[in-house]
Structure 1
């Protein structure tokens, strides 16, 4: 046993050295990884359309099925927007002449022209000249009811209406990536990245054969490191006698674990070998490490890991003179990409499910890194509650309150008011529902819901708040929701609705300060304990960062918060959870960039230094290696790749070092407030709705910025009170230091 542990220690050390030399953490950018070409598909100058939120509903069911087949411990609190197998699409048209219209989609599509059912073949029809009322009825068995059109100038989904009951109509949802008539939106979209082993370590009675093969003797075994932690299928050629047992994991310990009851994924069945040999492809698993053990002997060749990656465009670029910072950023981006399958998911190994907070906080980085608006909208949809919500629909009382945060982020990043209009009914229902269930102070309680899950601000709750009391942070989130509801109501030109939400916000803000502001310590207390009566005077970070994000934490007390309160919270640096993306955005908003990066180095840097290539759901610093992997009292319960913890470093780079922010009132106005700290230079490209803002920031000498047409960029330098305001597209030079 000691020899085995010694070999494992050598392997981990070697992995760390290889990691230190590695520049690309994302398989899609790694030159040593082959992206398998997909079969070309016909593309139309149009895109599929469907009822808003229904793609997310079908995707969620897919994730739940995949999770159930692969993951041992899965489950959901609460209810979500239900899938529907029926949809109608309508449009009034006026054609100057007869025109041809083609369509594609699920098999059962019926066209009505002026209320008359049409007899067609081949999914095409000739439309008559003049005015006509078109209605498509789409019915499916177990797939998304959707349609894509070509011809007669009718391809634009924004010009159609869609309904699930022929009574309530809205603007269809669509996305540019769904422009292939032969590939339905809810069909698999992943691409394949072929990853070769980074290292193969013969643990006992085994020898390497080339770079991707191994000879295993009787009762021998090897450990394989693919470096990239992804979802995918292990494939290899094998011949020999007896059986070969394959175990996989996120860590060497997990891949070498022989007690199947301790695993988070169902074990793989032993493989019977033959003398003739053949190709073995195993069921999909999340893994970085693989152990191969043979009882009688085997020859293994052509080892590879075919990882499934969501197709993305790497839109944001970021590079500095410090490779350590660069690696942190790249590792964060890869963490988010690994977790990006239909949604920004929870741990791909442990459950592969979309959760509201995880999905929405991920947009703070994902919207800039990849710009996939539909993935962000899918997260918004699952956060919004079902139609006509009831108390019994609540799982985690604060999780639906993330939805409007995501909606505003979506609007600012993409400049598309259509999304809020598509979800308008559900937005209003959500806000009105919360307004109907609060107590006499306007507070939402943590003991709502069938499962009594309680508040879940993250897992770093050693300082509270109580799960089922009245938490201050949740009331601040509700306040922010009312304010955001008023913001969208103004954009919709519905002044009475906006005034109603503003009044709710004003009243709630007053109560928040009456009940939860500690005037002696100048911070928010936790709230109440589980009995909803006893005051919980403890302080945790959750209410403080939500107070900053919601613009109610008094700025004059920032110094006290960041210099005296947060650094002295018990376990604040030792236990770090997936809410840190929100919190670090608050750090950046408060201008606390050094403190932000000190925290990153101490937590995220430490994890990278340990040889990991993705960031986990929960950090337990100063714990033993075995303890770091434990979660839910299960030895490997911690997800070592969690999209939400890919966010903090990106926020630290984008909103911290670069100092990027955007006006919510004049959304074409952006601010750059650089804080390079020890860095000599930063080169970056930031995607915005108008195009790209490209910068070469230099601590000394000239800096360069290029801005797109249609926006205004203000550069705020520490050495100058008056900002440099750039209003025309083009390239400009300036100096950060005078």
Structure 2
């Protein structure tokens, strides 16, 4: 049956003498075109605050009212921006939270019916929205245009922008002009999916951290799974690992994960490394294992077999005669560890163990004993050599998780030293995992509160590409204009590829506390593929209660833990009949 709109179109064409054979090609919809439908929706949000204004502006508060996106002839209740010989006006608006999308501008009717030129600047911080494109603080238009000059129509509407932002500055560019604004609304673009997982405890800070990590990843679930919505709008496979852990804990199955994994595979013919980085190809294996464990989709796993076998062949060739890794490509763990080659070496040795162990497990599931044996033999060799992490918390965490060093030793000697100092947003997840393996749950909770809580203390509504506790001293908040004598935490900090305003303040790789709190505080761990069996082992430490939900292919598992007066934990669990609960 033809779709109604096609029938209507054909009827109209018939009245004008066209036959179906003359239908314009644009209306021929193939299956491939049908698959290109947008996965996201749009919602409109009005600003919540005017942070700054200059020049002749009247009725600016009108822009804070909820709008309808429609220009009209009433001419009532307009915001007026007027330029004259004394200068040109500008406004800085705060939309209340980081989001992905653009801006809708609805105008009124001014004296002469011609467009007016304005400059729009998007910012993840208030100071970024005030910045020029210049080298001093590194404001850029990389990956997404966030600073642009456009014409707005007389008595109409313009929609612009596709970036990550919370703040918008608008400036009138034309001289001797009056601009009448009815509305300035954020266009919020996101996947409209439910939060099936949840977390609530006696510590409101931990609750907020869990939710902020979930929201950060949600924003990055666009056409593909990105790492950042302003900059790094790309599929970085290593960065996906903590993001997928968060998706598993919060959203359950979502097609953005296999779609992104397949893209990385298809654009990376072997012997190339995904994103040019050897660890990222290894993270691809680890994500495949975690994804199968969560969803149990054997048909999807079978589609990876050919690539997996060849990738294992490549990885097993990267071990020298002394059983040390000799990986080529970019030797990278994360940016803060990039100046510690010994720490990187320790991490790469560990990553080979972790990824080949995972590949061996997947090979057994895929009924490929030859590849499973190749993995086991390689891991046995790698275990004969244990490198020194050289003080790197990244390297020490991976050594502990790979079982090359006892987790208790890695924690005592490296991870627990100076608390959350020298933590990183990406590898912080693995540092927390290693601390949990060492039994130091209280230390891990303290690091979550200090490190990720430190970003919230500075006004964050999403977690950042990087964060360093040394930046905090005398720093202003991102949701305020920086006071004289204060450090601009956004414009004055950052390193490597994210100096100053190029630094992304919504990076999915920073979401590690969300799955960590679900796994270790709620104590929910999948122990059979497809969530057929889940083990419950909570660690409340200084919390008096913790409760939440966890998505499975069959529905949500619900848990509630309460600490009794005698210190024992009372646990209530319920879930789908298909899921076996182990306590």
TM superposition score normalised by structure 2: 0.79
Alignment partner of 1:708 out of 573, 576, 580: 576
Structure 1: unaligned runs, 5 residues or longer: 1-40, 43-120, 123-140, 148-182, 517-524, 527-537, 716-738
Matches within 5 A, 1:540-689: 540-555=392-407, 558=408, 560-568=409-417, 573-574=421-422, 576-623=424-471, 624=487, 625=489, 626-628=491-493, 632=497, 634-646=499-511, 648-663=512-527, 668-689=532-553
Structure 2 match to 1:326: 207
Q: Which has the higher contact order (CA 8 A, sep 6+)?
A: 2
Is 2:131 the partner of 1:257? yes
Per the TM alignment, residue 397 of structure 1 is displaced from its structure 2 partner at its CA by 2.1
Q: Distance in 2 between matches of 1:480 and 1:567?
A: 22
Structure 2: unaligned runs, 5 residues or longer: 5-19, 66-77, 472-486
CA contact (8 A) 1:408 1:484 kept: yes
Per the TM alignment, residue 418 of structure 1 is displaced from its structure 2 partner at its CA by 2.0
Q: Distance in 1 between matches of 2:396 and 2:208?
A: 30
Q: Distance in 1 between matches of 2:149 and 2:348?
A: 49
Q: Distance in 2 between matches of 1:315 and 1:483?
A: 30
Cα–Cα, structure 1 residues 323 and 482, in superposed 2: closer, same or farther, change >3 Å?
closer
TM superposition score normalised by structure 1: 0.63
Structure 2 match to 1:435: 316
Is 2:84 the partner of 1:220? no
Structure 1 match to 2:69: none
CA deviation string 1:532-587 (max 9, x = no partner): xxxxxx231223222333344325xx0x4323422337x96155231222332333
Structure 2 match to 1:493: 367
Per the TM alignment, residue 267 of structure 1 is displaced from its structure 2 partner at its CA by 5.3
Matches within 5 A, 1:395-544: 395-446=276-327, 448-449=328-329, 454-461=330-337, 464-465=340-341, 471-510=345-384, 512-513=385-386, 516=387, 525-526=388-389, 538-544=390-396
Which secondary structure state, in structure 1, belongs to the residue aligned with residue 500 of structure 2?
A: coil
CA contact (8 A) 1:373 1:410 kept: no
Structure 2 match to 1:200: 50
Q: Distance in 2 between matches of 1:352 and 1:425?
A: 28
Per the TM alignment, residue 273 of structure 1 is displaced from its structure 2 partner at its CA by 5.5
Which secondary structure state, in structure 1, belongs to the residue aligned with residue 380 of structure 2?
A: helix
Displaced runs of 4 or more, over 4 A: 144-147, 239-242, 382-388, 391-394, 664-667
Matches within 5 A, 1:144-159: none
Matches within 5 A, 1:271-282: 271-272=150-151, 276-282=154-160
Cα–Cα, structure 1 residues 290 and 417, in superposed 2: closer, same or farther, change >3 Å?
same
CA deviation string 1:14-68 (max 9, x = no partner): xxxxxxxxxxxxxxxxxxxxxxxxxxx99xxxxxxxxxxxxxxxxxxxxxxxxxx
Per the TM alignment, residue 489 of structure 1 is displaced from its structure 2 partner at its CA by 2.0
CA contact (8 A) 1:264 1:350 kept: no
Provide the alpha-carbon RMSD of the alignment.
3.2
Per the TM alignment, residue 209 of structure 1 is displaced from its structure 2 partner at its CA by 3.6
Per the TM alignment, residue 474 of structure 1 is displaced from its structure 2 partner at its CA by 1.0
Cα–Cα, structure 1 residues 578 and 633, in superposed 2: closer, same or farther, change >3 Å?
closer
Which secondary structure state, in structure 1, belongs to the residue aligned with residue 405 of structure 2?
A: coil
CA contact (8 A) 2:95 2:167 kept: yes
Which secondary structure state, in structure 2, belongs to the residue aligned with residue 628 of structure 1?
A: coil
CA contact (8 A) 1:463 1:540 kept: no
Per the TM alignment, residue 696 of structure 1 is displaced from its structure 2 partner at its CA by 2.1
CA contact (8 A) 2:425 2:509 kept: no
CA contact (8 A) 1:235 1:282 kept: yes
Structure 2 match to 1:64: none
Q: Distance in 2 between matches of 1:358 and 1:384?
A: 15
Which secondary structure state, in structure 1, belongs to the residue aligned with residue 383 of structure 2?
A: helix
Higher helix fraction: Structure 1 or Structure 2?
2
Matches within 5 A, 1:307-318: 307-318=188-199
CA contact (8 A) 2:531 2:553 kept: no
Q: Distance in 2 between matches of 1:666 and 1:283?
A: 40
Q: Distance in 1 between matches of 2:274 and 2:195?
A: 37
CA deviation string 1:623-682 (max 9, x = no partner): 232333565364312110001112x22133212211222325896332222222333322
CA contact (8 A) 1:431 1:481 kept: no
Cα–Cα, structure 1 residues 267 and 501, in superposed 2: closer, same or farther, change >3 Å?
closer
